[in-house]
Amino acid sequence: MQISLKNVSFTYQADGPFARQALSGVSLEVAAGQCQGLAGPSGSGKTTLLQLVNGLLKPCSGRVQVGELEPAALNPRQLAQLRRRVGLVFQQPERQFVERLVGDEIAFGLRYATQVPPKEYAPQVGEALQAVGLQASYANREISHLSGGEKRRVALAGILVMRPEVLLLDEPTAGLDYPAIRAVIATLQFLKRQGTTLLLASHDFPLLFELCDQLAVLKEGQLVYHSPLAELGQQVSFLQEMGLELPVPTLLAASLAQRGFTPGAHVFTDPQALARAIREQLLT
Amino acid sequence: MIRLTGVSYTYPGQGQPALDGLDLEISRGEFLVIMGRNGSGKSTLARLLNGLLTPTKGIVTVEGMDTARRQNLLKIQQRVGMVLSEPDSQFVSNLVEEEVAFGPENLGLSSNQIQARVKEALALVHMEDYAEHPPFSLSGGQKQKVCIASLLAMQPAYMILDEPFSMLDAGDRKALVDILRHLQQERNLTIVLVTHEVENIPAADNIVVLDAGKLVFRDQVGQLPADEETWVNWGLRPPPLLGLARAFYERTGQKFPLHLSPEEMASLLCK
Amino acid sequence: MWEKAISGQYVPGDSWLHRRDPRSKLLASFLLLAVLFLAEVPGELLICGAIAALLWHLGQLPLAHLREVLRPFWLLILLVAVLQFWWGAGGTTGPGPLPFLGANRGWEAALALALRLILLIMVMHLLVATTTPLQLADAWSWYLSPLGKLGFPVAELVVIMAISLRFIPLFLQESAHIHKAQLARGIDFREGSLKQRLAKTLGILVPLLRNSLQRSEELAEAMEARAFQPGQRRGRLYERKTSAGDLVFLLVAAGLLALFTW
C-alpha cells in the first residue's frame, strides 16, 4: 500500500486560544514497499504526521491517503479495520503492555481486534516472535522479567501479529542499547524483504541510513527536504544550515568531498564504506 | 574523591550479583563516562555512588564518608547529585521554580538562600525565563535542564547522570553536554555520565566500561581499543570512525585524533 | 504570559491577589464559598457575583480565561440546574428531594443554583490561579500544624498532597496516550459485548496503573537522591508574611458571611 500526503496541515486545539500548528503544507509520497525515513528534531511534527496516516488525527487541510482509502473519511469501525493493515508503533511501546505473559500480550490485538479463533493464536504469536528474532518459547515468559530490548521487540511483535501492509514507527530505537538496536534493524530488514511499506520517524541517523531508501526532513512542521538517500551527499551543507545534527562520518565525507575526494555517494551514509575508501585512496 | 573498594551488589532475590568485585576511584573535577550494555551494572553502580544503594560486599566512600552509615547520608546526598533518565518521574512540582527549590528545602536552608540558589541554578542551565512554567509543558531537553538545575541548587561536588539523553535528540544532547562541560570547567564539578551511547565519548576525560558486573576498562579516552570486535563484545556500538582510526594507525603509526572537527580531520587526511 | 490556562492551573503574575498571603487566601476562599451558598436571591447573590468579578479583576486574569475555565463544567451545571428546575420541591422552605437542591423549583431556583456553581468555580480557580502549588501546600500545613503537635505527620501529608496534584495532568496525558496506542492496534472500544468492552477498557487501565506504580518508585528514588527524608526540618522557598491587604480581604469575606447569615 502506498502513502500519500498532499498539502497537509494540522493544528492542535485549533478552536481555542492555545492552538499550536504542528504541520503546514506537507506533501509526501511513499511508494508501496519503500522504506521512507523521516528525520527532524523533537517537536518538528514527526509524531503528528504518523498519526495522520493511521487516522488517529484528521488533517485540518489537505489530503491523506493510504492505498485507496482516506482515513479522515472513515467511520470508527472502518478506521479500526484500517489500523490492522496500517500498524503504528508508538515511542516506548512497552509502556502500553496490558497482559502478564508475552504470548497473551502479543495476542491482545488478535483477541480484541480480529475474528481470529483462539486456537489460531499460538501459531500466529509464534510467527510474530520469529519476525522479531525471539524464540517461540518466549510466549510463556513473564513480561516483567524481560530486558528493555526484549520488551521493545515484544511490543513490535504485538503489532506485527496483525500482519500490517504498512508499518509506521515512531523512534523505534529510542532508549535501546546497541544489541537491541541491531535486533530491531534485523526485524525491519525482514519486513522490507516482505514488501511492507515502512515509514520510520527517528532522530537516529545511523538507523535511517542503514534502512531507508528515501529521506525526508521536517523542521517546525514543514517539509524542508525530501530525496532518495543516495543523493544525501549533495545536500549536506543545506541540511546543516537547517540545523540538523548529522553524524560525524557524514560530515567528514562532506569535508573530504569539498577537497575533491569523491569516491561515491555511498560514503555519506555508510561509515564502513567511507573508512574503506579513505584507506584505499588516501592512505596509500 | 569517591572510592569503591571490592564492591559487589546483589539485588534481593537474585542469584547473580549485578556488580562483582569492583575497585574504582573517581577524582574531583573529572568527566567520567561509564559505559556498558543494558544489564551490565551501570545503573547499579550509579546508585551506589550516592548511597541510594549500599554494597552487599565491600565499601563505598564519598570523601571519606562511608555510604553505608545512616548518619552520613544527608551529607553524601548533598555532595553527590543524581539525574535519572525520565524527567517526568523526577518532578515533584508544577512550577519550575518550586521544583528546583525542592532540594535546597530538604537541606533546611533559609528562604533567602533558597531563592538565591534557585536563581543561580536556573541561570546555569539557561532556563531563567521558564521559572514560572509547569515542567510538564516543557520539551524533553528543557525538562532535563530543569532536572540538572534541581541538582545544581544543592551545590553538589559530584553529579551522576544515569542515561539522561536516552529520549533526547542530538541537538538537545549536544546542548546538555556543553552545559556539563562548562560546569566541570568553571565549577570543578565532577561529572559521571552513565550511558551506552558512544556519541558521548569525546566529551569525557576518562572511560569506564562494565560488562556483566565487572570492570573491563578504565582509562583515558585516547586508550580505548581500536578494534570493533571488542566493542561488539562489550555490547556497545563501535564508535563510527573506528575502522578509519585503525587504518590510519596502520598506515602512519599514529593515533587518529577522533576529537577533531570533521573539517580538521579532512585536512589532516588530505595531507 | 504563558498560555496554558487550564482549569486549576497557576497563572504567573504579580497582581494584588498574587501578592496576598496564601493563608489568608485559603481562608477567605472558604469563607466566600460559605457565603455563596448562604446568599439569598436575588440581591445577595448578585453582590457575590460582583465580588467575584472584582476579584477576577484584582487577579489580573483576562476575561478569556473565564470561558476556558468554565468550559469543562457547562454540562454539569446544565444538568444540575435542570434537576433543580424539575425536582426542587414546592414551597419556600424545607429541604428538597436532594440535599443540595434547596427548597424551590422553577426558573429562579435553577438560575440561582447555576449562578452559585459558576461563582464557586470562579472562586476556586481564583485561588489556584493566583497561588502556586507550593504556597497552597504551605498554607495548608500552617493550618494543620496544631495537628502536627499531636504527632500527626502534617509535613509529609502536605508533600503527598502536592505531589498527587502535580501528577494529575500527567495522568490525563498518559491515559490519552495509551488510549491512542490501543486504537492504533485496531481496537474498537465501542464494539462488542459488554464483557468485551470492559476487557478493552482494561487495556487502558492496566498500563496506566502499572506505569503509575513504576513512576512512583522512580519518584521516591529521585526524592531520596535530593536529600528528602520524612520527618526532617525543611526550609521554605517563600517567606510567610501577612500585610494589611490580607486583613482587609479576610474582614470583607467574614463580614459578608456575617451579613448573609443574619
Reported as a single tens digit per residue, the pLDDT across A22-47 is 999 999 999 999 999 999 988 889 99
List residues of chain C with CB under 8 Å from any CB of chain B.
2, 4, 9-10, 12, 132-134, 159, 162-163, 165-166, 169-170, 173, 214-215, 218-219, 221-229, 232-239
Lowest mean pLDDT among A205-219, B125-139, C72-86: C72-86
State the virtual CA torsion across B14, B19, B21, B22 in degrees, nearest 10. -160
Residue A101 CB-density burial (10 A; 0-12 exposed, 13-18 middle, 19+ buried): middle
Lowest mean pLDDT among A258-267, B150-159, C85-94: C85-94
User: Sign of torsion, CA B47 B52 B57 B60?
Assistant: positive
- Judge contact between A213 and A35, C-beta under 8 A: yes
Q: CB C80: neighbour CB atoms within 10 A?
A: 19
C180: three-class secondary structure by DSSP: helix
% of chain C exceeding 90 in pLDDT: 11
| CA closest to C216 among chain B residues | B89
Instruction: Check residue C105 and give its pLDDT.
Output: 58
Instruction: Find which of C2, C234, C237 to mutate to test the B interface (most B CBs within 10 Å of its CB).
Output: C237
pLDDT at B168 over 90: no
pLDDT tens per residue across span B85-99: 889 889 988 889 999
Whether A141 contacts chain C with CB within 8 A? no
Which of the 8 DSSP states describes residue A172? T
Q: Which residues of C touch B100 (CB under 8 A)?
A: none
Q: pLDDT category, A17, cuts 50, 70, 90? A: low
Interchain proximity C226–B154, CB inside 8 Å:
yes
H/E stretch holding B193:
strand B190-195
Instruction: Check residue B211 and give its pLDDT.
Output: 94
Residue A278 in grid coordinates? 579513505
A195-to-B230, B271, C10 alpha-carbon distances in Å: 35, 46, 52
Of the two residues B111 and B137, the one the predictor is more confident about is B111
Instruction: Check residue C93 and give its pLDDT.
Output: 44
Residues C194-202: contacts with CB under 8 Å, at least 24 apart: C196/A112, C199/A112, C200/A112, C202/A98
| CA closest to B86 among chain A residues | A175
- List all residues 6 or more positions away from A245 whose beta carbon is below 8 Å from its beta carbon: B169, B170, B171, B174
Alpha-helical segments (H) within chain A: 46-53, 76-85, 102-113, 121-131, 148-160, 178-194, 205-211, 236-241, 248-258, 271-281
pLDDT at C98 over 70: no
Measured between CB atoms, which of B38, B252, B266 is closest to A259? B266
Instruction: Check residue C96 and give its pLDDT.
Output: 45
Measured between CB atoms, which of C132, C228, C233 is closest to B98? C132
Nearest-CA distance from A82 to chain C in Å? 7
φ, ψ dihedrals at B59, nearest 5°: -140, 140
Q: Give the pLDDT mean for B39-63.
A: 93
Q: Which residues of B touch A42 (CB under 8 A)?
A: 139-141, 168-169, 172
List, as ranges, residues 95-154 from B with C-beta within 8 Å of C: 95, 97-98, 101-111, 113-115, 118, 132-134, 136-137, 150-151, 154
Measured between CB atoms, which of B93, B109, B136 is closest to C134? B93
Q: pLDDT category, C3, cuts 50, 70, 90? A: very low
Beta partners for residue A69, in sequence order: A66
Instruction: Check residue A19 and give its pLDDT.
Output: 77
Measured between CB atoms, which of C182, C186, C200 is closest to A96? C182
Nearest-CA distance from C179 to chain A in Å? 9
pLDDT at C95 over 70: no
Instruction: Check residue C154 and give its pLDDT.
Output: 84
Measured between CB atoms, which of B141, B236, B266 is closest to A252? B266
Instruction: Check residue C90 and give its pLDDT.
Output: 47
Instruction: Check residue C100 and give its pLDDT.
Output: 52
| CA closest to B51 among chain C residues | C225
pLDDT at B271 over 80: no
Q: pLDDT category, B114, cuts 50, 70, 90? A: very high
Q: Which chains touch B (3 or more CB pairs under 8 A)?
A: A, C
- For the entire predicted model, the pTM comes to 0.86
% of chain B exceeding 70 in pLDDT: 100
Q: pLDDT category, B151, cuts 50, 70, 90? A: very high
Q: State CA C71 to chain mean position distance.
A: 14
Q: CB B218: neighbour CB atoms within 10 A?
A: 16
pLDDT at C258 over 90: no
Instruction: Check residue A284 and give its pLDDT.
Output: 67
Q: pLDDT category, A148, cuts 50, 70, 90? A: confident
pLDDT at C101 over 80: no
pLDDT tens per residue across span C57-93: 888 888 877 887 888 888 888 888 888 777 764 444 4
Q: Which residues of C touch B150 (CB under 8 A)?
A: 226
Instruction: Check residue C92 and give its pLDDT.
Output: 46
Q: Does the complex come out with an ipTM higher than 0.90?
A: no
Nearest-CA distance from A144 to chain C in Å? 11
Q: pLDDT category, B15, cuts 50, 70, 90? A: confident
pLDDT at C102 over 80: no
Q: Which of B55, B200, B83 is nearest to B147 (CA)?
A: B83
pLDDT tens per residue across span C13-42: 888 889 889 999 999 999 988 888 887 767
A142-to-A126, B177, C200, C206 alpha-carbon distances in Å: 16, 37, 21, 15
Instruction: Check residue B266 and give its pLDDT.
Output: 82
H/E stretch holding B42:
helix B42-49
Instruction: Find which of B106, B155, B162 to mutate to test the C interface (most C CBs within 10 Å of its CB).
Output: B106
Angle between helices C133-149 and C154-184 (to 10 degrees): 140
φ, ψ dihedrals at B167, nearest 5°: -105, 10
User: Sign of torsion, CA C188 C193 C195 C196?
Assistant: negative
Nearest-CA distance from A23 to chain B in Å? 17
CA A149-A246-A218 angle, to 5 degrees, is: 85
pLDDT tens per residue across span A62-84: 999 999 999 999 998 899 999 99
Q: Which of B131, B77, B101 is nearest to C162 (CA)?
A: B101
B223: three-class secondary structure by DSSP: helix
Instruction: Check residue B212 and give its pLDDT.
Output: 92
Q: What share of chain A is helix, strand, coil (3-state, %, to 5)?
A: 50, 20, 30
% of chain A exceeding 70 in pLDDT: 98
Q: Which of A209, A250, A213, A177 is nearest to A34 (CA)?
A: A213
pLDDT at B228 over 90: no
Instruction: Check residue B192 and give its pLDDT.
Output: 96
Nearest-CA distance from A85 to chain C in Å? 9
List residues of chain A with CB under 8 Å from any CB of chain B.
41-43, 147-149, 174-181, 203, 205-206, 243, 245, 247-249, 251-252, 254-256, 258-259, 261, 271-272, 274-276, 278-279, 282-284
Measured between CB atoms, which of B78, B84, B110 is closest to C235? B110
pLDDT at C5 over 70: no
pLDDT tens per residue across span C183-210: 998 888 887 788 888 888 888 999 999 9
Nearest-CA distance from A258 to chain B in Å? 9
Q: Give the pLDDT mean for B35-62.
A: 93
Instruction: Check residue C1 and give its pLDDT.
Output: 33
